[in-house]
Amino acid sequence: MKRILLTLFSLLLLAPATADEGMWLPSLISHRIGDMRAKGFRLTADDIYSVNKASMKDAVVLFDGGCTGELVSAEGLLLTNHHCGYDAIQSHSTLEHDYLTRGFWARSRDEELPNKNLNVRFLVRMEEVTDRMAAGETADEIVRKAEAEGKGYKAAVEQMYYGNQQFLFLYEQFDDVRLVAAPPSSIGKFGGDTDNWIWPRHTGDFSVFRVYAGPDNKPAAYSPDNVPYRPRRHFTVSTRGVGEGDFTMIYGFPGNTQQYILSDVVKYIAETSDPMKIAIRTGRLDIIAEAQESDPALRIYYAAKHATIANAWKKWQGEVLGINRLGTYDKKLRTEARFAEATGDAEVLEELRKEFARALPYYYTRELLAETLLTLAYGYAEEEKADPLFAKREPTERALYRQAFGEYAARNNLLPAIPEIEAGIGQYGSPEAYADHIFGLAVNDPANGEIAALKTAVGKLHAEIVGRLGTRSLRNFNSARMNELYARYVEGLRRWAAAEKREGAMFPDANLTLRVAYGTVAGYEYADGEYHKPLTTLDGIIAKDNPAIYDYDIPQSLRDLHASKAYGRWGVEIGGRRTVPVCFLATNHTTGGNSGSPILNARGELVGINFDRTWRSTMSDIEFDPAICRNIAVDIRYVLMVIDRIGGAGYLLDEMTLR
């Protein structure tokens, strides 16, 4: 019977959440706690989420609006990824104090560095407000009432299941967040873009911050009088390590998944959208990389921009490969056919396809604008031009202008071109020549009317697209009409699941709200006969070490440590050799936004920091494959060793609770 059911349902994207698929709302985690405990979890649903007592949620933060962080001391000490703190680290870096290259280690709290516009948010509570809104209360009214409850409160009403449910998320926001420590990029970004999304991985992707509050422990703007925040809860740090098969749980803010999109959308992503964006970003990355190789100052200046562009660029490549390998488009088609047969609602699918066909030119042009014309500055401030580095940057900025105009002109074939650009190309002979003209104005005469007209024209097209789609957010390639249809479709999927006794199988798409995912430490079969073990060690770093390559040139102190084997309490015996664990794989379902999320063991102790997925996992935003989808975490023992033995900041460990 089991074999028959697997045959019947294995091709269905809507099959029950199997293995370790799913991103679950913490306030509803009691519905999953039985499965979690069966897989080894030792705590309760209240330990994960509670509004009446301190729980794990009180140790997790939304970091800088797009990552996750976790509290590891009673004095506001926070861990997240190096790449999440990258902008902050870069902002403090100069040729004289190159914290990107050499790392940063505050020797006292007086040396911790404040950061403009960097904040963290703690979830105060989440609650369903579907009935309140159905009764006529608006989202704005609900938000205003919630924010009035406390100092520094920020609230949002978020949709689940395409609007079938509405939840209020109330946060407490702290705006004084200071940089405490960051390893050299050759540790924190070891392997650079070459190793990004790749396993085996040896990246010590962590950085350390501290949350500060006013004397009343409430949010406050930066002040020398502020004191370390005293959290309701912080994570105990486990030094026991992990082994294959161990339970793991991830608690964080996944950004966006697209589990329930139409088959037509999957085809668009794999055949049109991703390939277009990959090609354009390849050109941008080549231009920036050439500049970085030419001058150390430019390497620092463009570091964060290059990393940001490259991250999605490589992810999309893996996504296309995964979608094609799994045959996701064909699976979706079969699921839709079975849905129509089982529910009798073929009409909703027909209407979805019609609306997607209508909206596709607007999606495409919006994405093209985002990758080209909307990336440009259209003017440089006088103080920016006074910076001696600006003269060195000009050839690169000009090349980026030329590439953006060229790609837009070559690829804008679904909507009428912007008249001002057509006229400019006609006058100057080519998109690149017109770009040179506009760049000259942006540098020398940014208030020129021609610049203003072009910006207005680009903005007008963008506004027209938003108007035609009826929504500013294009999350999951939607429109106002598609949202209505998706709500009907997804509700039909849920009723179908309930009829087939698969209740609770469907989790809401990620939308940068706090979620729980769980699984186990596990390797996977990368290719026929090639099994990837779930743990890497310091020996692998030494094997990759190459002083001639920036991203692989590790600090001499790390080489010396490996040679001496003086690891102290951080060393372990693996395969008959003394070494230090660096990274591990697990089966937790993650996506962007989960960067920096705590990886917890069965006792709720911190064992790692999530920072990536394997390249063959990047299609998990659309289809999760339990056989190969793996998240990558830096082992907390490596983090502690680097802080202690490389950074000489062992005092930070003294304020942690180590077990």
- State yes or no: cis peptide before 200, omega within 30 of 0: yes
Q: What is the DSSP letter of 643?
A: I
274 within 8 A of 316, measured Cβ to Cβ? yes
232 within 8 A of 58, measured Cβ to Cβ? yes
Nearest-angstrom CA–CA distance, 231 and 175: 15
Q: Which helix (H) or strand (E) holds 159?
A: strand 153-160
Nearest-angstrom CA–CA distance, 659 and 222: 33
Neighbouring C-beta atoms of residue 460, cutoff 10 Å: 13
Token pair 């793991």 is at which residue? Answer: 248
Residues of 153-166 as b/e, b for ≥16 C-beta within 10 angstroms?
Answer: bbbbbbbbbbbebb
Nearest-angstrom CA–CA distance, 227 and 253: 27
Phi, psi of 172 (to 5 degrees): -110, 120
Cα distances from 596 to residues 68, 250, 448, 648, in angstroms, run: 5, 10, 44, 23
For the chain, the first-to-last Cα distance in angstroms comes to 46
**Which residues, 6 or more positions from 648, have their beta carbon under 8 angstroms from its beta carbon?**
105
DSSP character string of 265-293: HHHHIIIIIHHHHHHHHHHHHHHHHHHHH
Beta bridge partners of 155: 170
Given the residues 47, 50, 55, 83, the one annotated as active site? 83
Three-state SS sequence of 313-381: HHHHHHHHHHHHHHCHHHHHHHHHHHHHHHHCCHHHHHHHHHHHHHHHHHHHHHHHHHHCHHHCCCCCC
Classified as helix, coil or strand, 516 is strand
Nearest-angstrom CA–CA distance, 408 and 412: 6
640 within 8 A of 239, measured Cβ to Cβ? yes
Cα distances from 346 to residues 218, 482, 488, in angstroms, run: 53, 15, 12
Neighbouring C-beta atoms of residue 278, cutoff 10 Å: 18
Give the closest residue to 455 by CA, choosing from 444, 442, 467.
442
Residue 522, token pair as written in the block:
């596990």
DSSP character string of 73-97: BTT-EEEE-TTTSHHHHHHT--SSS
Given the residues 20, 176, 195, 205, the one annotated as active site? 205
Beta bridge partners of 585: 632
Q: What is the DSSP letter of 177?
A: E
Nearest-angstrom CA–CA distance, 646 and 659: 22
The yes-or-no answer on residue 140 being catalytic is no
The yes-or-no answer on residue 562 being catalytic is no
The yes-or-no answer on residue 205 being catalytic is yes
Token pair 């794990």 is at which residue? Answer: 56
Can you give the C-alpha Rg of the chain in angstroms? 25
598 within 8 A of 609, measured Cβ to Cβ? yes
Active site (catalytic) residues: 83, 205, 595
